[in-house]
Amino acid sequence: MNKQKPITVVSLFSGCGGMDLGFVGGFEFLGKKYKKTNFTIIWANEINAAACNTYRKNIGEHIIEGDIREAIAALPESADVVIGGFPCQDISINGKMEGVNGKRSGLYTFLVEAVKKIQPKIFIAENVKGLLLKANAASLQKILEDFKALDYDITRKLYNAADYGVPQTRERVFIVGASKDITPFTPPPPSREKYITVKEAIGDLETLPSDERFSHIWSCANKSAEQGNRKLIADRPGYTIRAECHGNIQFHYSLPRRISMREAARIQSFPDTFLFQSKLRETERQIGNAVPPVLAWHIANAAQNAIIGSHNETK
């Protein structure tokens, strides 16, 4: 770890803390240590009470529970970084495809407002791959225009989490805005050539009995016509973990049941020390909504390099 002063972070739409955990680092996943970064989260907000309970348990007490429309009045005056995975329900192919005119995805404007007020060195906004669909072209253009109007150098990139050590073929868009007085942000290159398979990620849990404290519990929903009924393939990464699967989460590759919440958390790259403070349905939602911590860690390090690089250039 660099002996630099802490780099302060404001987190919006924080959920249970997947992106925030990745940003601070200092955790272990599948035997690999992800070192602590120089980031310190000084303020976070989430509307879901259950997610806030999980966040407090694992990340910190600094999270403000409530609607961002009200919480934004309590934003800090300054911070080095603003991050947030704004709601995607109106952009996702599983949603109503209303784009940024929808009630949920239109909340990205509060990220814009936060950046405008705080004027961080860098900001990072995350959303689903559906943002790049032709049907959402106008929404993407509007989002980019709103961020560019704040006078940041904007980059956007589609990341496959599996390229960065996450055992899941999850594709997400990250929009990064870098202040013109820091080193340009360079997206992190893929960290591995060989994907981690789902069996490598969860195979040791096969013989473990259900354990509610460890979130090793699973839905007993019968197979239905809804999405999420696929069976995992042992020698491939897992499918994307969805938040609104209504119990229809993927089936285990060899056992006669759906995957457990701890297995889903592993597929999302949460360390086993991350304990969810909720029952099955809420835990399912928290895991599915989260940014994989390991992917977030790689992006955080790229952001840190841009900020610290600018410090070094001025010495």
Please state which of the ranges 7-11, 118-122, 127-131, 211-215 shows the lowest mean pLDDT: 127-131
pLDDT band at 91 (very low <50, low <70, confident <90, very high): very low
Residue 158 has pLDDT above 90, yes or no: yes
Q: Tokens 């202040």 correspond to what residue? A: 179
Q: What is the pLDDT of residues 262-287, one digit of tens each?
A: 999 999 999 999 999 999 999 999 99
88 is a catalytic site residue = yes
Query: Which pLDDT score is estimated for 192?
Result: 82
| Catalytic residue (choose from 16, 52, 88, 245) | 88
Structure tokens at 39: 């980031």
Distance CA 21, CA 29 (A): 12
Q: What is the mean pLDDT of the chain?
A: 90
Task: Specify whether the CB–CB gap between 261 and 276 falls below 8 A.
Answer: yes
Residue % of the chain over a pLDDT of 70: 90
Express the helix, strand and coil content of the chain in percent, nearest 5 each.
Answer: 35, 20, 45
Residue 69 has pLDDT above 60, yes or no: yes
Q: What is the mean pLDDT of residues 111-129?
A: 95
Structure tokens at 32: 């690999």
Superfamily of domain 7-189+291-313: Vaccinia Virus protein VP39 (3.40.50.150)
Task: Specify whether the CB–CB gap between 174 and 157 falls below 8 A.
Answer: yes
Please state which of the ranges 20-34, 99-113, 172-186 shows the lowest mean pLDDT: 99-113
C-alpha distances in angstroms, 206 versus 169, 216, 260, 263? Answer: 21, 10, 10, 10
Cβ-based neighbours of 42, under 8 Å, separated by 6 or more: 8, 9, 10, 62, 76, 79
Q: What is the pLDDT of residues 159-214, one digit of tens each?
A: 999 999 999 999 999 999 999 999 999 999 999 889 999 999 999 999 999 999 99
Residue 30 has pLDDT above 90, yes or no: yes
- Global pTM reads 0.92
Query: Which pLDDT score is estimated for 247?
Result: 80
Distance CA 25, CA 65 (A): 23
- Closest listed residue to residue 103, CA positions, set 67, 73, 128: 67
Query: Which pLDDT score is estimated for 312?
Result: 54
The single-letter DSSP state of residue 17 is S
In the three-class reduction of DSSP (H, G, I as helix; E, B as strand; rest coil), residue 211 is classed as strand
Q: What is the mean pLDDT of residues 83-98?
A: 62
Please state which of the ranges 99-113, 149-163, 243-257, 272-286 shows the lowest mean pLDDT: 99-113
Structure tokens at 45: 């907000």
Query: Which pLDDT score is estimated for 57?
Result: 98
Query: Which pLDDT score is estimated for 189?
Result: 96
pLDDT band at 226 (very low <50, low <70, confident <90, very high): low
Domain ranges of the chain: 7-189+291-313
